[in-house]
Amino acid sequence: MSKGRFGIHGGQFVPETLMNAVNELEEAYNRYKDDPEFIAENERLLNEYAGRPSLLYYAEKMTKDLGGAKIYLKREDLNHTGSHKLNNVIGQILLAKKMGKTRVIAETGAGQHGVATATVAALMGMECEIYMGKEDTDRQALNVYRMELLGAKVHAVTTGTQTLKDAVNETLREWTRRVNDTHYVLGSVMGPHPFPTIVRDFQSVIGKEIKAQLLEREGRLPDAVLACVGGGSNAMGAFYEFIPDKSVALIGCEAAGLGVDNPKNAATVANGTLGVFHGMKSYFCQDEYGQIAPVYSISAGLDYPGIGPEHANLHDTDRAQYVPVTDDEAVNAFEYLSKTEGIIPAIESAHAVAHAMKIAPDMGRDKIMVINLSGRGDKDVAAIARYRGVEIYE
């Protein structure tokens, strides 16, 4: 019966039209995930095309400036296309090819997942269409052009709140229209089973590398791993390897927008309640009648009213901690990391940097913290300038 549960969360709450597709995907994934040829091909692309392993960088200036824990940055921003998203996309499109699909579709918020999907679709010769909320095509116009340059067709979604959740709605609708030749490259650890598991597995390379790199550098595990959480794919990728290592604190940083007490936020664990949406049982920002709330964050990639089901379960079981970070704090961290380390983080990743700035000073100097720097911030520069009152448009 019900599959893909993480505690009470997860499941496969999708229309009947899609059930054979998700079942076929599960079968194909189970067949290929342990297939030596598939693993070798995936690894070759990760290493030779994406540029893995990504660096684990000791942020010495930041460490000294904050005066507490030793801070390492996992440089997912250095991947080809500028974020962790490529890890999952390479795996899924490889799988889609094995399944005989000729066309891929995907949702995108900030555009990072859309760009990654368009990139790998170009590489592997797949037709590609991307769904992006109209509000996001406006605030991330450069990424729209980038996707088009890569040969993808970009649809601006004008329904609902015109952001990430509506892009997911529209991609799900398109998938029900045309499921036979089309694979939905879901970009986060969310949606119906088997997506949360598949995406987590393809992203778990992040945590595996962190562990190996830190063991080599420091001879031990970190005390804390921090990552930003929207749907939660970079966080799940960074956390997964460390779940059995109970000494490692896992901290997910949610987008609190204008503040958790202000309606304009997207902090699902802080403000959400149990629900069933986008194929999964999990926590969602919603009203007493189960109408999904119009969430807000300065970060298009974290502007999502739900959280992946495995995160919901890590929260329920207290294995991970989820903390809210406001727009203001994230923008400060964006500028801080740029000035302190010469690294411009994605505004999404800046949420994790912001929380690190809060807690690192109170941790002992013998402690080690790893921040997953999930993406680079080039795409955000104009928006941050406008946030600071400088009228720059791309």
Partner 1 sequence: MSKTAQAFKNGKAFIPFVTAGDPDLETTKKLIIAMAESGADLVEIGIPFSDPVAEGVVIQQADERALSSGTTTDKIFDMVSSLRKELPTLPLAFMTYINPIYVYGSEKFLARCEELEVDAVIVPDIPYEEKQELLPYCEKHGVDLISLIAPTSEERIKTIAAEAQGFLYCVSSMGVTGVRSEIKTDIGAMIRNVREVSSIPTAIGFGISNPETARKMACHADGVIVGSAIVKLCAQYGRDCVEPVRAFVKEMKDAIRDL
Q: Which residues contact 240 (CB under 8 A, 6 or more apart)?
A: 200, 203, 204, 207
- Looking at beta carbons only, is 1 or 390 nearer to partner 1? 1
- Looking at beta carbons only, is 18 or 90 nearer to partner 1? 18
CB-CB contact of 38 with 98 (8 Å): yes
Instruction: Provide the minimum distance between the beta carbon of 281 and partner 1 in the complex, in angstroms, as a whole number.
Output: 8
CA gyration radius for the chain? Answer: 19
Per CB under 8 A, does 14 bind partner 1?
Answer: yes
Query: What are the φ/ψ torsions at residue 372 (nearest 5 degrees)?
Result: -80, 110
Q: Which stretch binds partner 1 (CB under 8 A): 44-52, 91-99, 284-292, 381-389?
A: 284-292
Q: Which residues contact 323 (CB under 8 A, 6 or more apart)?
A: 251, 252, 253, 254, 355
Q: How far is CA 47 from the centre of its chain?
A: 20
Per CB under 8 A, does 284 bind partner 1?
Answer: yes
The residues annotated with a catalytic role in the active site are 85, 107, 374
CB-CB contact of 318 with 18 (8 Å): no
Q: Which stretch binds partner 1 (CB under 8 A): 137-145, 146-154, 194-202, 278-286?
A: 278-286
- Distance between CA atoms of 279 and 184, rounded to whole angstroms? 13
CB-CB contact of 282 with 235 (8 Å): no
CB-CB contact of 231 with 194 (8 Å): no
Q: For residues 116-175, which are near partner 1 according to CB under 8 A?
A: 159-160, 165-166, 169, 172-173
Instruction: Provide the minimum distance between the beta carbon of 314 and partner 1 in the complex, in angstroms, as a whole number.
Output: 21
Half-sphere CA count of 310, side-chain side, radius 13 A: 26
Site string for partner 1, 258-277 (x = CB under 8 A): ---------------xxxxx
Query: What are the φ/ψ torsions at residue 244 (nearest 5 degrees)?
Result: -70, -20
Q: Which stretch binds partner 1 (CB under 8 A): 44-52, 205-213, 263-271, 290-298?
A: 290-298
Q: Which stretch binds partner 1 (CB under 8 A): 18-26, 55-63, 217-225, 236-244?
A: 18-26
Instruction: Provide the minimum distance between the beta carbon of 254 and partner 1 in the complex, in angstroms, as a whole number.
Output: 20
Q: For residues 231-250, which are near partner 1 according to CB under 8 A?
A: none
Per CB under 8 A, does 291 bind partner 1?
Answer: yes
Per CB under 8 A, does 176 bind partner 1?
Answer: yes
Instruction: Provide the minimum distance between the beta carbon of 164 and partner 1 in the complex, in angstroms, as a whole number.
Output: 12
By CB under 8 A, name the one of 122, 123, 141, 179 that touches partner 1: 179
Alpha helices in the chain (DSSP H): 16-32, 36-45, 60-66, 85-98, 112-124, 134-139, 141-149, 164-177, 195-203, 205-218, 233-239, 268-271, 309-316, 327-341, 347-359, 381-387
Q: Which chain residues interact with partner 1 by CB under 8 A?
A: 1-3, 11-21, 159-160, 165-166, 169, 172-173, 176-180, 273-279, 284, 286, 288-292
